[in-house]
Amino acid sequence: MINELIKYFKNKKILILGFGKEGQSTYNLIRKYLKKQQLYIADRKEKFYEDYEILKNDKNVIYIYGEHYLDNLEQYDIIMKSPGISFVGIDTSKYIKKIKSQLELLLEFFDVFTIGITGTKGKSTTSSLIYEVLKQQNKNVKLLGNIGIPVFDYVSEINKEMILVLEMSSHQLEFMEKSPNIAVLLNVYEEHLDHYESFEEYALAKCNIYMWQKENDYFLYNYDNEMLNKLVKETKSKTYRISINGNKDGNVVLKQDKIYVNDKVVYNANEKRNLIGNHNLNNIMFVVTVSEILKLDLEKTIKTINEFKPLEHRLELVGTYNDIIYYDNSIGTIPMATIEAVNALKEVDTLIIGGMDRGIDYSEFIEFLNNSNISNIICMPKTGHDIAKKLVENKKYIVQTLEEAVEVAKKVTKKNKICLLSPAAASYGFFKNFEEKGNLYKELVKK
């Protein structure tokens, strides 16, 4: 399988576009097998190559950098695009077929069973949970992709007996013309609007997860999601319409606290579990459906689900300090994720919000906050300051930094109540990512 991939790369004019984690992974794989082939690497950062030891002695690389690093892309045979590169406002029509991702090449050249998971929210939790369910049933399984493990780091280990669980972002899916054997589309909400011309374009990128499936493949999607119902029409694959609202046209539904897959009861929503909230119950509906498709042991699946602990920065209990219970949900970078977190925890007295402005509509979120039982809404720049202008006066506190936000929270949060960090906005511009923001929050809380 790997030989086919290397043959595809051989003697081609290849551009590695973006030299983050995935770009480095692509470089390492090509260099392992094609040691002398001329390569091109482009990145916005000036003289980026000086930061990387692996590039120091490679004389067969030409570097393109600076603000014009996206110019003249039509001259290459293959453009290995890193997920973080945005083509907003750029006409890609001359070279769109040349744009490839690690995930697409995996699906094209490797004969292996794949389960792909995407969605605006919940994809890391759902991917990790599906992986854990399979692992606990002694399946030969690997978890790769957007979860932080580039596919090319492991291609030499892949064989036909494996199952690959692949977390897929919209950026990885955007130009793909291949789909996994089981495609899971959890939801789409307004996000990454700085990377796409419109919300619909972003949602269509997500839809590539099932668009190229065949008759023997399976597609699971959120039947309650307004945008998905607008976009998902006829599919070639076997389709599972998943509805937590009990929609009668769904074939996986929640009714009277029981999850049904094709009229069979597979899970009791009242079971004691660590993944709290309706959003997590929705994720569980997808997991038990995958379990049924693969004919796994249902009892073992349920045991794994109930014992599974939340991933870091996802409704993570930081601890109780000075009689205040602190939660970190820094992954909550859109309004809906923050609303779901508040609803799941119920006892939120203080909420810390704010981050980068990406053009998301906050009107419903503001209405939710004003009508909620949250006593204190601590607003950080930029979005938090904009939201604060429309909040009830006695609820809001305007701060400049996360340090200041935690200090205010310590003073105003009632005893034995919850202080929750759930920004409803991206961390970029203020932090490297949501992990850095969450880690600093936890550090400040523990001080």
Give the pLDDT confidence score for residue 196 in this predicted structure.
81
Q: In this structure, which amino acid lies at residue 7?
A: K
Confidence band of 247 (pLDDT split at 50, 70, 90)? confident
pTM of the model: 0.91
User: What's the CATH superfamily of 103-307?
Assistant: Mur-like, catalytic domain (3.40.1190.10)
Give the pLDDT confidence score for residue 248 in this predicted structure.
84
Q: Is there a contact between 37 and 30 (Cβ–Cβ < 8 Å)?
A: yes
Give the pLDDT confidence score for residue 285 in this predicted structure.
98
Supply 224's token pair: 């309650």
Q: Is there a contact between 284 and 275 (Cβ–Cβ < 8 Å)?
A: yes
Q: Which of 12-21, 80-89, 162-171, 305-314 has the lowest mean pLDDT?
A: 80-89
Using CA atoms, how far apart are residues 153 and 214, in angstroms rounded to an integer? 28
pLDDT at 6 > cutoff 80: yes
Predicted confidence (pLDDT) per residue in 233-242, tens digit: 889 999 999 9
Q: Over range 220-226, report the average pLDDT.
A: 96
Closest by CA to 95, choosing from 77, 70, 68, 69, is 77
CB-facing half-sphere around the CA of 207: CA atoms within 13 A: 16
Predicted confidence (pLDDT) per residue in 348-361, tens digit: 999 999 999 888 89
Q: Over range 266-285, report the average pLDDT.
A: 96
Domain ranges of the chain: 12-100, 103-307, 316-446
Please, which residues bridge with residue 72 across strands? none
Q: In terms of DSSP bridges, do strands 348-353 and 376-379 run parallel, antiparallel, or are they unpaired?
A: parallel
Using CA atoms, how far apart are residues 299 and 292, in angstroms rounded to an integer? 11
CA dihedral 284, 290, 295, 297 (to 10 degrees): -30
Please, which residues bridge with residue 59 across strands? none
CATH class of 12-100: alpha beta
CA distances in angstroms from 372 to 350, 365, 387, 391, listed in the order given: 11, 10, 15, 11
Closest by CA to 122, choosing from 348, 428, 344, 354, is 344
DSSP letters spanning 306-364: HHPPPPTTSSEEEEEETTEEEEE-TT--SHHHHHHHHHHH--EEEEEE--B--S---HH
**Helix (H/G/I), strand (E/B), else coil: 88:** coil
pLDDT at 192 > cutoff 70: no
- Stated as kind and residue range, the H or E segment containing 289 is helix 278-293
Mean pLDDT score across all residues of the chain: 95
Give the pLDDT confidence score for residue 193 in this predicted structure.
64
pLDDT at 447 > cutoff 90: no
Predicted confidence (pLDDT) per residue in 37-64, tens digit: 999 999 999 999 999 999 999 999 999 9
User: Phi first, then psi: what are they for 34, rounded to 5°?
Assistant: -125, 75
Predicted confidence (pLDDT) per residue in 380-417, tens digit: 999 999 999 999 988 999 999 999 999 999 999 999 99
Cis-peptide into 21, omega within 30 deg:
no
Per CATH, which fold does 316-446 belong to? Protein-Tyrosine Phosphatase; Chain A (3.90.190)
DSSP category for residue 149: B
Q: Is there a contact between 202 and 227 (Cβ–Cβ < 8 Å)?
A: no
Percentage, residues of the chain above pLDDT 70: 99
pLDDT at 246 > cutoff 90: no
